Amino acid sequence: MKKLVWLMVFLGLMGFSLALAQPRTVKVGFVSTLSGGGAALGIDVRDGFNLALRHLNNQLGGLPVEVIVADDQQNPDVARQAVDRMLKRDRVDFLTGIIFSNILLAVGDAIFEEKVFYISPNAGPSEYAGEQCNPYFVNVAWQNDNLHEAMGQYVQTRRFENVFLLAPNYPAGRDALTGFKRYFKGRVVAEVYHRLNQLDFSAEIAQIRAARPKAVYAFEPGAMGVNFIKQYAEAGLLREIPLFLPGFSADADVIRAVGRGMVGIYNSSQWTLELNNPINQRFVEDFRKTYNRTPTLYASQGYDAALLLDAAIKAVGGDLSKKDELRKAMLAGFNSTRGPLRFSPNGYPIQNYYLRQVIQQPGGEIVNRQVGTIFTNHRDAYVDRCKLR
């Protein structure tokens, strides 16, 4: 018995000294939705992130990277357990990956309390943009309202008399319609929220048909978007009432699933396939080559999350204990797939928003093409309420 104890002590010491001897690595916890209806989003972000790591030779700011991946199953409870494990057992240096705002809000406190940076590649809840903004939060994608603000602005310029609004009932859904209404000044016929992850839209479609609006605006990410657009077309409404979407519901993942029904639809995005800069060109080309599919805005966000980490860690010379300097370096901006990207003090980006349209190319391929710019250097609406500087 005694021998066993000494052996264990010895082994423990050995392990400790080994850990000291090794070069510092960056541990990144990647919690994302990798199964179920939102899986396409999480997988795109993950693949984008991994592609960036490959381009960076598996290093971030010169330090070797270890990525720990977990599937949150789009369930706040599962996400909390995964985050708890990464913070307390694996002791990660950064966390990233979460797709859905309700999941992020369920784990955010736990991450910030441990003074670990969360780099959001997607979820951008209004909560973290205003009064509750946090120095350990940076979002490389957008604030939830932004793409919808852009679409509200566009539908406004088309002078539709009224519009029917539809979104799932969760933080990003409420942010979405708030954002749309901030720029659309016409009448809102009805504002319908449904359960998150609902897949049968027959009840909502019947409501739309009965309300006879001039246009419909729907925020439906992932499988919800696929199902809603298919069922909207099957009910014969696509020809009668024009449908406007944010980029989330009209990107390559949805186009692959819905097909020709998508042609003609206008949508908004902070990123497009055609953005003319070397980072984006390399990203799009290599993403297609590596994964054999067209990248989405989600994939670009995952790619940019890794680029941001790389730039920030480089700026502090690999010393991850300099938290203040790290934050300053992150907010100072970096070169992204969208060109040089800057941030507001609340950690949200200041950027352009583009109008895209789904078109069928002569070869038959259906793509989402950039057709205009809606906002330039647009900030989120909550930044003034954030006390951080």
Partner 1 sequence: MRWIFPTVLLGLLLAFPPIAAAMGLEFYQGLLTKIMIFALAASSLNLILGYGGMVSFGHAAYFGLGAYTVAILMREGVTSGWVIWAVAVGLSALLALLIGAISLRTRGIYFIMITLAFAQMIYYLVVSFKQYGGEDGLRARRPEFGLFELNDTTLYYLTLGVLLAALYLLYRLVHSRFGRVLQAIRENEARALALGYPVFHFQLVAFVLAGALAGLAGVLMAHYTQYASPNLLAWQQSGHLMMMVILGGVGQFWGGVLGALVLSLVEEILQDLTIHWQLGVGLILLFIVLFAPKGLAGLMRRGS
Partner 2 sequence: MPPSLFIEQVLNGFQFGLMLFLLAAGLTLVLGIMDTINLAHGSLYMIGAYLTATLVGVTGSFWLAVLGAVLGTALIGMLLELSVLRQLYRRDHLSQVLATFALILIINEVVRMIWGSQPLLLSTPEALSGPVEILPGLYYPAFRLVIIGVGLLVALLLFWLVNRTRVGMWLRAGASNREMAQAMGVPIKPLFTLLFGVGAGLCAIAGAFLGPILAVQIGMGESILILAFVVIVIGGIGSIKGALVGALLVGLVDTAGRAFLPLLLSRVASPEVASNLGPALASILIYLLMAVVLFFRPQGLFPART
Residues in contact with partner 1 by CB under 8 A are 12, 71, 75-77, 80, 84-85, 88-89, 102-103, 105-106, 109-110, 169-171, 196
Q: Which of 59, 81, 156, 207 binds partner 2 (CB under 8 A)?
A: 207
Q: Which is nearer to partner 1, 200 or 234 (CB)?
A: 200
Residues in the chain: 389
In the numeric block, which tokens belong to residue 106? 């369920």
By three-state DSSP, how is residue 239 classified? coil
By three-state DSSP, how is residue 214 classified? coil
| Residue 263 contact partner, candidates partner 2, partner 1, none, CB within 5 to 8 A by sort of partner | none
Q: Which of 71, 72, 251, 380 binds partner 2 (CB under 8 A)?
A: 71
Q: Contact between 127 and partner 2 (CB under 8 A)?
A: no
Q: Contact between 318 and partner 2 (CB under 8 A)?
A: no
| Residue 356 contact partner, candidates partner 2, partner 1, none, CB within 5 to 8 A by sort of partner | none
The single residue listed with the structure tokens 């979460």 is 98
CA neighbours closer than 13 Å in the CB half-sphere of residue 329: 21
Q: In this structure, are residues 93 and 29 in contact, taking their beta carbons and an 8 Å threshold?
A: no
Q: Which of 31, 43, 67, 215 binds partner 2 (CB under 8 A)?
A: 43
Phi, psi dihedral angles at 291 (to 5 degrees): -110, -5
User: Measured from the CB of residue 78, what is the shortest distance to partner 2 in angstroms?
Assistant: 13
In the numeric block, which tokens belong to residue 368? 């989402």
Query: How many residues touch partner 2 (CB under 8 A)?
Result: 34
Q: Contact between 233 and partner 2 (CB under 8 A)?
A: yes
Q: Which is nearer to partner 1, 108 or 152 (CB)?
A: 108
**Which alpha helices (H) appear in the chain, and where do they start and end?**
2-21, 39-55, 76-88, 101-113, 146-157, 171-183, 202-211, 223-234, 252-258, 278-291, 297-315, 323-331
In the numeric block, which tokens belong to residue 337? 């797939």
Binding region for partner 2 (CB under 8 A): 34-37, 39-40, 43, 71, 169, 174, 190-195, 199-200, 202-203, 206-207, 209-210, 223, 226-227, 230-231, 233-236, 257
